[in-house]
Structure 1
Amino acid sequence: MKNTISERIFDFLKDFPPFDVLNKKQLFLVSSNVKVTYIEIGKTVFQQGEIPHENFYIVKDGAIGLYRTIESDEILVDICDEGDIFGLRPLVQNDHYLMSAKANEESILYAISVNILKEIIENNEKVNKFLIASFSTNIKTPYAKNNNGKLFANIETLEDNNGNFSDFQTAEYSKDPVTCLKSTSIKEAALIMSSNKVGSILIVEDKNPIGIITDKDLRLKIATGFVSINKKVIEIMSSPVITVSEKITTAEAQIAMLKNKITHLCITKDGTPNSELTGIMSEHDIVVLQGNNPSVLIKELKRAKDVETLKYIREKTSNLLNGYIEQKIPIVFVSNIISEITNAITIKAIELSLKEMKKQPPVKFGWLALGSQGRKEQLLVTDQDNALVFQNVPDENHQETKDYFISLSEKITKKLSIVGFEYCPAEMMASNPDYCLSLKEWKHQFNKWITIPSEKSIMMCTIFFDYNLIYGDLGLVNKMSKSIFNSIKSYEIFLNFLGKNALINPPPLGFFRQFLVEDDGENKDQFDIKSRALMPLIDAARLLTLSHKVKDKNNTIERFQKLIEIEPQNNDLYLMCIDSFKILLRFRTEQGIKHKDSGRYINLKSLNKAEKLKLKGCFKPIKDIQELIKVRYNLSQML
């Protein structure tokens, strides 16, 4: 008689690593011995510190959160969903659970005996490699559906450095460690720890670390009365300390802590105990970094039930951005990651708003991000720019349909405002009836802006031409794009007007190579890096790709890269524009983080000479690209 349950398990497991590399006999052995377990929401599968079960688990349905408790903080490290394995490492390494596993949703788990897996490991090299790669990066499973079906951490991925980026980036650590001398009393050291609100203190000699005391030492050795609190710190310090270099990655730090069964690493200049102490890294630092992992944030977003959760994740994203910028992670990578999270926040805000509507959308629609979010260049939290397009309807149904989508848009923009994206001062939002239009109306609007160019209509084009579909029907957006190019084709002089607009802001240096700053207003004598440096490059890239009828690029760097393909004779200029844009975007982001604002206006007095020279070096490509535009579109007569 056939075991239909076993067959269903077989069909499920065969699509997920490491089961996808098993032969049929091995996979049937596994699926025949699976225990199916139902876990209610909020229930625990296992606890941190618990002796491991005889089984590891794979999620069939639902979601299991992995939590790490350090002191009194419970930190979400990861979310396991369909196809994810968890609880395997302690079984193979014969160690206690390092995290707790708790159901974030009603879940169905497949419990698989580790003994069966061990038998398979001995006869299947691919499974063995999978486990080695998984353990080396401390990922609960190297597989994720949103990674195009690839292993997160297989050997090839590790070599290509395309895996979980947080595991390969330089780990974050405290650069101001609390220290004392070996002559210090335990009581004095405890008071120093208390006043600095830290859980450890390093004992140094000639600036080199020779030992460490943690809260755990105080509890086990002092509070119990085994050692007098008046003794010297050398009586209870752990020594020698484990030291690593400043360039250690998160994965390497995790391995070092596991290998040495410790919770703190000392950072020294050359990575040895005989060099100057520069920092300390704790297990808590690593867990917090894992909790800020982009993939974890995206998973949290997908399961968010309210706008408060969206706001919380947006704040965690800001922490992620700060870490990336501080560690000099490539700005293109940073921009892509932050944009994906921002888009995911917007999508969830839309989904939550749709659930609040009394009925389903009457027709297909598309939600568009505009401006910097549309170009995937929004790193800092700025105001929102968005629009909505909906399918054409008969005239008698138009107002009712539009009212529905305006009501929906009001809910969405309100949620985005709560999250931290303030309302647009100019009301360029889908909640404004002017920007919540049918496809027919949008075609008419774009055609009007293009064929009757004015200062305002050109400005609107520079904003609305950078739209990006965040949610909804792609077909509607494709038709919008096609109508724009048709209008430009019928009125090509529009490109000249767009070119004139691209020259509004001249190169940011005056005659004596002085920065051009604001003449008046609240930002008087400050440098506007957005208008005077970034926008000229953004406008130039948009204009030139439009003139070549490039439909699928709206990111500034991607536009210049496409222009290099189309115009190889201008290769050097466009490469210079890309480099300058990267530097300027990073500079603005750093300023925004430093001053907790949009980073747009910079007080030049706060910059050192090197920073000013670096900025000035970005301005020559602006001058050169504007000269190219002036000649190409014969703009001398229009200026």
Structure 2
Amino acid sequence: MKNTISERVADFLKNYPPFSALESGQLETLSYEVTIVHKENNSIIFSEKEAPHDCFYVVHKGAVALTKKGSTQILDICDEGDIFGLRPLLAHENYKLEAKAHEETILYAIPIKEFKPLALQNHRVGDFLIESFASNTRNPYSQKHRGKLYGITTASGDGGGTETKLLDLQPVRYSSDLVTCTEGTQIKTIANTMGKHNVSCILVVKEGLPVGIITDKDLREKVATGLFPITGNAKSIMTTPAITYPKELTVTQAQMAMMKSNISHLVLTEDGTTDTPAVGILSKHDVMVAMGNNPAVLLRAIKRAKDSKRLRGIRQNIVSLLQGYLDENIPIGLVSKIISELNDATIKQVIDISIKKMETEPPVKFTWLTMGSQGRGEQLLNTDQDNAILYENVPDEESEATRDYFLKLGSIISTELNTIGFEYCPAEMMASNPLWCHSLDEWKEVTTHWMGNPGPDEVLLSSIFFDFNVTYGEKALADQLSLHIFDNVKKFPQFLTHLASGALQNPSPSGFFRDFLVEQDGAHKDFFDLKLRALMPLVDAARVLILSHSVKSINNTAERYEKLAELEPQNKEVYLACSYASKALLKFRTKHGLLHNDSGRFIALDKLNKEEKIKLKRTFKTIKEIQSLIEIRFQVKTLLR
């Protein structure tokens, strides 16, 4: 009678090194001796400095975390097919790490007594073990983990290591020797002070915080020309508010910021806002000194483009830049900021081109709002459009004509965006649609209706719209709308419960023992829906949580979680895990979208390598944790869990 359990063991082991190098007879013999071990979540398999067992382990289902004693930092995660605990057996030494079940786990315990003779007989197995010792990793064929199993990071002196960084992403040096004055300081005194310190600008402060800046250009154009007397004060000629950024600024971000606002100096503060003291001043000269090849070249090209055909070509260069950053393993948070800035600049140029196609200038001030992934700064690939127009209130007699103007403008802009590569929204959530083109008061009425009558459709529309970001035009209009929305959050507390319920509707990404749940029918049958099952649960949860804290101007999902970690220290661990997971999933989707020239939404699991599957599965536990948190907090009883 056949031993079906041993056959199943053999069928599993043959897919992973070094067992894949064994002959079928050898593997069959070994499988008879394997013991199946079940471990509950957080149970110890072996401890640091413990004497080695008479077997090593292979993860069959679940995951095992390897840590140093007394540390909460996980040095490595062993997933399905990974071996651990082998080196101490061969080197005759105690365990150097602690192994703990990271969740409910099933292990195959391989007796070293039975395995060692097979390794001696099969040179391919021996080669694997020798290379494993040399590279200090449980899989010597993985370049990424080479030398890192015990938390050791090796430097490469030949330029071939993964530490190579692009020059334009290096932190830029700035001057920390601040020269300041107050709003009441006389202009003559300011000029003398700048000359004495040989600086090109002076920072205007009030109660220790930056409120404005005066440059030598201001003195030339405002004072030397006679527009303002030299006996005037700083407040009369300063540029306010000061344009502030965080001190951890890269060369690329600095140059793009200057070009974006057409300024030559940036004020650097502790948190990047005017609410904290300045720590330095960055000039255009500082940037030029540090500059290497960077996307600022693309930004200049975008601003010089006169038609959509030219912009479409530049868009291809942006995609190439994105691919290069991913190949260099640049942090996805930084990559998304750069690509989003380039996307915003492209949209702005499209709007300027479109306005010139209109017979007249806009009748009133307006704002172009980008929504969805672009509004969150997460649209790295050319996906569909989600946008809206918000314009100033007008008298009733001008309402129809004003709406017609902006609908026509919205239609032209959407067409131009489609020309350069942004697909039309299938649901027509675009400014060319009358439902997405309103005055400020009309938008207030629309959002009030959504929040006061939160049915499924209203919750869906809110989820898309509430990620809006100002790409062009009058930011003050959007700020007024944001304040109205936050007021309504307090007025309609049940809205957050409905929004939280909507955030729980997306099905779980995994089933029993972390198997992927795939589409059961349709065009994407047997594919994994990365957007619906993994990304959107994190996006939706971040939105409802940040709304509950009335935090505006933070739309990016990872940044929302980082802000939540500050606001709720008791939940810091889960929020930071969500931030990490959202960036990991965004990077994964972007890579696969570039690889297959699509949106990266649907993933063919059989095309993934083992490392990619492990990365995906590691985010699933985080998704379940954040969904449990919002279910409890907002007292949601959802139908789909």
Q: Bin the TM-score by the shorter chain.
A: 0.5 to 0.7
Q: Which amino acid in structure 2 is aligned with residue 535 of structure 1?
A: M
Q: Does structure 1 conserve the Cα–Cα contact (< 8 Å) formed by 2:390 and 2:443?
A: yes
Question: Which residue does the alignment assign to 2:458?
Answer: 457
Q: Could you give the per-residue CA deviations for residues 259-286 of structure 1, whole angstroms, max 9, x where no partner exists?
A: xxxxxxxxxxxxxxxxxxxxxxxxxxxx
Give 1:149 shift: 2.2
CA–CA distance in structure 1, aligned partners of residues 537 and 319 of structure 2: 27
Question: Which residue does the alignment assign to 1:613?
Answer: 614
Structure 1 residues 366 and 492 mapped into 2: Cα distance closer, same or farther (>3 Å)?
same
Give 1:144 shift: 6.1
Give 1:577 shift: 0.6
Structure 1 residues 163 and 521 mapped into 2: Cα distance closer, same or farther (>3 Å)?
farther
CA–CA distance in structure 1, aligned partners of residues 558 and 256 of structure 2: 31
Question: Which residue does the alignment assign to 1:196?
Answer: none
CA–CA distance in structure 2, aligned partners of residues 396 and 549 of structure 1: 36
Q: Could you give the per-residue CA deviations for residues 491-525 of structure 1, whole angstroms, max 9, x where no partner exists?
A: 10111111111111233011232101111111111
CA–CA distance in structure 1, aligned partners of residues 493 and 315 of structure 2: 42
Q: Does structure 2 conserve the Cα–Cα contact (< 8 Å) formed by 1:368 and 1:467?
A: yes
Question: Which residue does the alignment assign to 2:479?
Answer: 478
Q: Could you give the per-residue CA deviations for residues 340-364 of structure 1, whole angstroms, max 9, x where no partner exists?
A: 0000000000011111111111111
How many residue pairs get matched? 385
Question: Which residue does the alignment assign to 1:359?
Answer: 360
Q: Which amino acid in structure 2 is aligned with residue 295 of structure 1?
A: A
Give 1:379 shift: 0.3
Gaps (5+ residues) in structure 1? Answer: 1-14, 25-59, 61-136, 168-250, 252-289
Structure 1 residues 20 and 371 mapped into 2: Cα distance closer, same or farther (>3 Å)?
farther
CA–CA distance in structure 2, aligned partners of residues 21 and 302 of structure 1: 36
CA–CA distance in structure 1, aligned partners of residues 582 and 630 of structure 2: 18
CA–CA distance in structure 2, aligned partners of residues 21 and 396 of structure 1: 59
Q: Does structure 1 conserve the Cα–Cα contact (< 8 Å) formed by 2:256 and 2:299?
A: no
Structure 1 residues 165 and 584 mapped into 2: Cα distance closer, same or farther (>3 Å)?
farther
Q: Does structure 1 conserve the Cα–Cα contact (< 8 Å) formed by 2:443 and 2:481?
A: yes
Q: Which amino acid in structure 1 is aligned with residue 532 of structure 2?
A: S
Q: Secondary structure at the match of 2:380?
A: coil
Question: Which residue does the alignment assign to 1:515?
Answer: 516
Question: Which residue does the alignment assign to 1:529?
Answer: 530
CA–CA distance in structure 2, aligned partners of residues 296 and 379 of structure 1: 18
CA–CA distance in structure 1, aligned partners of residues 321 and 561 of structure 2: 28
Structure 1 residues 311 and 405 mapped into 2: Cα distance closer, same or farther (>3 Å)?
same
Q: Secondary structure at the match of 2:265?
A: coil
Give 1:21 shift: 8.4
Q: Could you give the per-residue CA deviations for residues 221-275 of structure 1, whole angstroms, max 9, x where no partner exists?
A: xxxxxxxxxxxxxxxxxxxxxxxxxxxxxx6xxxxxxxxxxxxxxxxxxxxxxxx
CA–CA distance in structure 1, aligned partners of residues 513 and 638 of structure 2: 27
Q: Could you give the per-residue CA deviations for residues 500-558 of structure 1, whole angstroms, max 9, x where no partner exists?
A: 11111233011232101111111111001111101100001101011111122111111
Q: Which amino acid in structure 1 is aligned with residue 541 of structure 2?
A: A
Question: Which residue does the alignment assign to 1:219?
Answer: none
Q: Could you give the per-residue CA deviations for residues 591-637 of structure 1, whole angstroms, max 9, x where no partner exists?
A: 00110110000000001122111110011110000011111111137
CA RMSD of superposed structures (Å): 3.3
Q: Which amino acid in structure 2 is aligned with residue 374 of structure 1?
A: G
Q: Secondary structure at the match of 1:618?
A: helix
Give 1:581 shift: 0.9
CA–CA distance in structure 1, aligned partners of residues 297 and 344 of structure 2: 15
Question: Which residue does the alignment assign to 1:42?
Answer: none
CA–CA distance in structure 2, aligned partners of residues 537 and 476 of structure 1: 29
Question: Which residue does the alignment assign to 2:637?
Answer: 636
Q: Which amino acid in structure 2 is aligned with residue 603 of structure 1?
A: A
Question: Which residue does the alignment assign to 1:587?
Answer: 588
Matched, 1:540 2:541: yes
Q: Does structure 2 conserve the Cα–Cα contact (< 8 Å) formed by 1:503 and 1:536?
A: yes
CA–CA distance in structure 1, aligned partners of residues 281 and 614 of structure 2: 39
Q: Secondary structure at the match of 2:502?
A: helix
Q: Does structure 2 conserve the Cα–Cα contact (< 8 Å) formed by 1:517 and 1:526?
A: yes
Q: Which amino acid in structure 2 is aligned with residue 149 of structure 1?
A: H
Give 1:466 shift: 0.2
Q: Does structure 2 conserve the Cα–Cα contact (< 8 Å) formed by 1:389 and 1:437?
A: yes
Give 1:468 shift: 0.3
Question: Which residue does the alignment assign to 2:299?
Answer: 298
CA–CA distance in structure 2, aligned partners of residues 142 and 466 of structure 1: 23
Q: Which moved more, 1:502-511 or 1:591-600?
A: 502-511
Structure 1 residues 404 and 23 mapped into 2: Cα distance closer, same or farther (>3 Å)?
closer
Structure 1 residues 622 and 308 mapped into 2: Cα distance closer, same or farther (>3 Å)?
same
Equivalences for residues 5-404 of structure 1 within 5 A: 149=265, 290=293, 293-404=294-405
Q: Which amino acid in structure 1 is aligned with residue 522 of structure 2?
A: G
Q: Does structure 1 conserve the Cα–Cα contact (< 8 Å) formed by 2:504 and 2:638?
A: no
Matched, 1:552 2:524: no
CA–CA distance in structure 1, aligned partners of residues 442 and 312 of structure 2: 34
CA–CA distance in structure 2, aligned partners of residues 586 and 637 of structure 1: 30
Q: Does structure 2 conserve the Cα–Cα contact (< 8 Å) formed by 1:143 and 1:149?
A: no
Q: Could you give the per-residue CA deviations for residues 156-180 of structure 1, whole angstroms, max 9, x where no partner exists?
A: 999xxx968997xxxxxxxxxxxxx
Q: Does structure 1 conserve the Cα–Cα contact (< 8 Å) formed by 2:265 and 2:281?
A: no
Q: TM-score, normalised by structure 1?
A: 0.56
Question: Which residue does the alignment assign to 2:496?
Answer: 495
Q: Which amino acid in structure 2 is aligned with residue 560 of structure 1?
A: Y
Q: Secondary structure at the match of 1:517?
A: coil
Q: Which amino acid in structure 1 is aligned with residue 538 of structure 2?
A: L
Structure 1 residues 20 and 459 mapped into 2: Cα distance closer, same or farther (>3 Å)?
farther
Q: Does structure 2 conserve the Cα–Cα contact (< 8 Å) formed by 1:310 and 1:419?
A: yes
Q: Does structure 2 conserve the Cα–Cα contact (< 8 Å) formed by 1:157 and 1:163?
A: no
Matched, 1:562 2:570: no
Q: Secondary structure at the match of 2:369?
A: strand
Structure 1 residues 577 and 144 mapped into 2: Cα distance closer, same or farther (>3 Å)?
closer
Question: Which residue does the alignment assign to 2:576?
Answer: 575
Q: Could you give the per-residue CA deviations for residues 202-230 of structure 1, whole angstroms, max 9, x where no partner exists?
A: xxxxxxxxxxxxxxxxxxxxxxxxxxxxx
Q: Secondary structure at the match of 1:366?
A: strand
CA–CA distance in structure 1, aligned partners of residues 578 and 501 of structure 2: 19
CA–CA distance in structure 2, aligned partners of residues 575 and 624 of structure 1: 12
Q: Which moved more, 1:480-489 or 1:570-579?
A: 480-489
CA–CA distance in structure 2, aligned partners of residues 514 and 466 of structure 1: 32
Q: Which moved more, 1:596-605 or 1:297-306?
A: 297-306
Q: Does structure 1 conserve the Cα–Cα contact (< 8 Å) formed by 2:501 and 2:637?
A: no
CA–CA distance in structure 2, aligned partners of residues 326 and 449 of structure 1: 43
Question: Which residue does the alignment assign to 1:239?
Answer: none
Q: Secondary structure at the match of 1:512?
A: helix
CA–CA distance in structure 1, aligned partners of residues 289 and 355 of structure 2: 34
Structure 1 residues 411 and 490 mapped into 2: Cα distance closer, same or farther (>3 Å)?
same
Q: Does structure 2 conserve the Cα–Cα contact (< 8 Å) formed by 1:366 and 1:470?
A: yes
Structure 1 residues 638 and 358 mapped into 2: Cα distance closer, same or farther (>3 Å)?
same
CA–CA distance in structure 2, aligned partners of residues 530 and 441 of structure 1: 32
Question: Which residue does the alignment assign to 1:447?
Answer: 448
Question: Which residue does the alignment assign to 1:92?
Answer: none
CA–CA distance in structure 1, aligned partners of residues 577 and 199 of structure 2: 53
Q: Does structure 2 conserve the Cα–Cα contact (< 8 Å) formed by 1:366 and 1:472?
A: yes
Q: Which amino acid in structure 2 is aligned with residue 412 of structure 1?
A: I
Q: Does structure 2 conserve the Cα–Cα contact (< 8 Å) formed by 1:390 and 1:438?
A: yes
Q: Does structure 1 conserve the Cα–Cα contact (< 8 Å) formed by 2:371 and 2:468?
A: yes
Q: Does structure 1 conserve the Cα–Cα contact (< 8 Å) formed by 2:363 and 2:402?
A: yes
Q: Does structure 2 conserve the Cα–Cα contact (< 8 Å) formed by 1:498 and 1:543?
A: yes
Structure 1 residues 315 and 475 mapped into 2: Cα distance closer, same or farther (>3 Å)?
same
Q: Secondary structure at the match of 1:504?
A: coil
Give 1:489 shift: 1.2
CA–CA distance in structure 1, aligned partners of residues 295 and 630 of structure 2: 39
Give 1:23 shift: 9.3
Q: Which moved more, 1:363-372 or 1:510-519?
A: 510-519
Q: Which amino acid in structure 1 is aligned with residue 412 of structure 2?
A: K
Gaps (5+ residues) in structure 2? Answer: 1-190, 201-216, 218-250, 268-279
Q: Does structure 2 conserve the Cα–Cα contact (< 8 Å) formed by 1:506 and 1:623?
A: no
